[in-house]
């Protein structure tokens, strides 16, 4: 079976790829805007509306609910429409949803219902945008450049997640929470403009050539059957779902652990958790080079298995400078996860037929997101029953064993991502 060559591709560098740079830069701006709104929207609720704890939590629920409810239907729609156009409309929808808050505040008082609806709209548009984004990249790039492209996209996403809350807090201090949302709205407009300027168009998807017009429900099932019927995709979904379970378990108690068990100050907590974000950013930057050196397929399980013991540093943290031990373990896990994610997304994009990309990506996202609330609930329960440090040992153990899904799978015998037989 032909494989992606380990040598650098003869195609031009992505730094000279106009359309990819437009997608990348526009996405980076909108990622930063999304990270800002994650902090600022609750700040508006608290500072302008004196919202209760439940009302603030409701904003988070509304932002995440679409991921569980709409991901599978989004996959069908993504496979039936022009993906770039859908992404453009999603950006415009997010621009209007978040921009409505400062607009209304200029003439009237913002209400909690408006914030809830804005959070729901942001989550809904993000579901469709993310599925279309992952499915559109193979239109712009050849398979041998997908690892490089995904690495760059994941790096900016991680950087935005790190910088966004701090930037949001700084802007809120300067101009207020409501006005800060204006900048967020502009970020989506920039992303929409970048998409509009992209020249590459998707080839027409002829239903008769492989995407028959079946019922909407049957079309959703096709994506799930493709994922669950492929031995490697099935293991990738299980591996990522397990990692998300562990991440959700750990993050649900980490702040309490650092404050109460390690006796860290809030500033120290911020530094320690910031190390984790930097680890993810570094992993995204290293993903392409590691994939070329180790193998575009082999790097998936190597990235998870080799640094796995470092996860056990997290529950070993102690007071004072010992809190940084937690940050080192968290950074190592995030770095390995970034390399793994870059490789597994590239694998999915490479082996899936173009007409099924949206449903495949949506199906995997639906499967791997299902464990997030379970992990958070498990962290709360175990933290109450066993204590914070023992619960972290449980989470670190799950983290360390995540790579076993791939070690005991066909991918362990592969070096590089295979091309479909029709591409031989």
Q: Lowest-pLDDT range, 233-237, 273-277, 278-282, 328-332?
A: 273-277
For tokens 């079976």, the residue is 1
Residues 234 and 168 in one domain: no
Q: Of all residues in the chain, what percent carry a pLDDT higher than 90? A: 52
Q: Mean pLDDT throughout 2-31?
A: 76
Tokens coding 417: 């991502």
Residues 271 and 190 in one domain: no
Q: Lowest-pLDDT range, 238-247, 326-335, 376-385?
A: 376-385
Residue 8 reports pLDDT greater than 90: no
Indicate whether 211 belongs to any domain. Answer: no
Residue 208 reports pLDDT greater than 70: no
Indicate whether 310 belongs to any domain. Answer: yes
Residues 191 and 230 in one domain: no
Residue 369's pLDDT is what?
86
Indicate whether 257 belongs to any domain. Answer: yes
Indicate whether 5 belongs to any domain. Answer: no
Model confidence pLDDT, tens digit, residues 26-81: 989 988 888 788 778 887 887 788 877 677 767 777 887 888 889 999 999 999 99
Residues 137 and 253 in one domain: no
Q: End-to-end CA distance of the chain, in Å?
A: 8
Q: Rounded to whole angstroms, how far apart are CA atoms 222 and 214?
A: 10
Residues 79 and 122 in one domain: yes
Residues 240 and 336 in one domain: yes
Indicate whether 282 belongs to any domain. Answer: yes
How buried is residue 316: exposed, middle or buried, by Cβ count under 10 Å (0-12/13-18/19+)?
middle
Nearest CA-CA partner of 284 in 151, 157, 145? 151
Residue 419 reports pLDDT greater than 70: no
Q: Could you give the dihedral angle defined by the CA atoms of residues 221, 129, 372 and 368, in that order, rounded to the nearest 10 degrees? A: 40
Residue 206 pLDDT level (bands cut at 50, 70, 90): low
Position with higher pLDDT, 383 vs 209: 383
Residues 188 and 244 in one domain: no
Residue 166 reports pLDDT greater than 70: no
Residue 5 reports pLDDT greater than 70: no
Tokens coding 323: 């809190």
- Domain tally, the chain: 2
The three-state secondary structure class of 42 is helix
Residues 353 and 424 in one domain: yes
Indicate whether 39 belongs to any domain. Answer: yes
Phi and psi at 84, nearest 5°, equal -65, -40
Residue 68's pLDDT is what?
83
3-state helix, strand and coil shares in percent for the chain, rounded to the nearest 5 = 80, 0, 15
Residue 185 pLDDT level (bands cut at 50, 70, 90): very high
Residue 67's pLDDT is what?
84
Indicate whether 212 belongs to any domain. Answer: no
Q: Lowest-pLDDT range, 69-78, 206-215, 400-409?
A: 206-215
Nearest CA-CA partner of 148 in 11, 1, 328? 11
Indicate whether 8 belongs to any domain. Answer: no
Of the residues 169, 200, 231, the one at which a domain ends: 200
Q: Rounded to whole angstroms, how far apart are CA atoms 298 and 343?
A: 9
Which residues neighbour 84 within 8 Å (Cβ) at sequence distance 6 or greater?
Answer: 132, 136, 139, 195, 198, 201, 202
CATH number at residue 109: 1.20.1250.20
Residues 170 and 260 in one domain: no
Q: Lowest-pLDDT range, 270-284, 295-309, 385-399?
A: 270-284
Position with higher pLDDT, 180 vs 7: 180
| Residue 380 and residue 368 in contact, taking contact as beta carbons nearer than 8 Å | no
Residue 377 reports pLDDT greater than 60: yes
Which residues neighbour 384 within 8 Å (Cβ) at sequence distance 6 or greater?
Answer: none
Q: Rounded to whole angstroms, how far apart are CA atoms 303 and 306?
A: 6
Residues 91 and 191 in one domain: yes
Q: Which domain holds residue 169?
A: 15-146+159-200
Residues 82 and 224 in one domain: no
| Residue 372 and residue 252 in contact, taking contact as beta carbons nearer than 8 Å | no
Residues 282 and 352 in one domain: yes
Helices (H), 230-265: 231-251, 254-256
How buried is residue 187: exposed, middle or buried, by Cβ count under 10 Å (0-12/13-18/19+)?
buried
């Amino acid at each position: 079976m032909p494989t992606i060559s380990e040598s650098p591709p003869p195609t031009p560098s992505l730094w000279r790829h106009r359309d990819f740079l437009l997608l990348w830069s526009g996405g980076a701006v909108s990622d930063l805007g999304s990270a800002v709104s994650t902090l600022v929207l609750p700040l508006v609720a608290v500072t302008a509306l004196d919202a209760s704890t439940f009302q603030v939590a409701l904003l988070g629920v509304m932002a995440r609910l679409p991921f569980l409810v709409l991901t599978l239907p989004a996959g069908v729609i993504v496979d039936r429409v022009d993906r770039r156009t859908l992404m453009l409309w999603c950006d415009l929808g997010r621009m209007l949803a978040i921009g409505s808050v400062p607009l209304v505040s200029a003439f009237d008082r913002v209400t909690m219902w408006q914030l809830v609806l804005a959070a729901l709209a942001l989550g809904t548009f993000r579901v469709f945008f993310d599925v279309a984004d992952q499915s559109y990249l193979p239109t712009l790039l050849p398979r041998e450049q997908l690892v490089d492209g995904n690495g760059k996209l994941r790096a900016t996403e991680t950087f935005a997640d790190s910088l966004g809350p701090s930037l949001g807090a700084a802007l809120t201090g300067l101009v207020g929470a409501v006005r800060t949302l204006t900048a967020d709205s502009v970020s989506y407009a920039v992303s929409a403009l970048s998409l509009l300027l992209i020249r590459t168009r998707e080839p027409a998807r002829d239903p008769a050539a492989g995407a028959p017009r079946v019922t909407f429900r049957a079309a959703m099932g096709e994506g799930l059957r493709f994922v669950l019927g492929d031995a490697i995709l099935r293991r990738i979904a299980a591996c990522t779902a397990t990692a998300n379970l562990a991440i959700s378990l750990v993050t649900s108690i980490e702040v309490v652990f650092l404050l109460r068990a390690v006796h860290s100050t809030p500033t120290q907590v911020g530094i320690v958790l910031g190390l984790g974000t930097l680890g993810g950013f570094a992993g995204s930057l290293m993903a392409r080079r590691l994939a070329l050196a180790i193998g575009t397929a082999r790097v998936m399980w190597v990235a998870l298995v080799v640094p796995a013991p470092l996860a056990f540093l997290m529950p070993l943290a102690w007071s004072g400078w010992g809190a940084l031990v937690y940050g080192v373990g968290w950074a190592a896990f995030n770095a390995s996860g970034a390399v793994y994610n870059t490789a597994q997304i590239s694998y999915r994009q490479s082996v899936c037929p173009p007409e099924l990309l949206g449903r495949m990506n949506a199906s995997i996202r639906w499967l791997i997101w299902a464990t997030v609330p379970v992990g958070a609930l498990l962290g709360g329960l175990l933290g109450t029953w066993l204590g914070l440090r023992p619960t972290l040992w449980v989470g670190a153990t799950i983290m360390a064993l995540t790579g076993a899904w791939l070690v005991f799978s066909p991918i362990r015998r592969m070096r590089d991502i295979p091309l479909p037989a029709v591409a031989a």
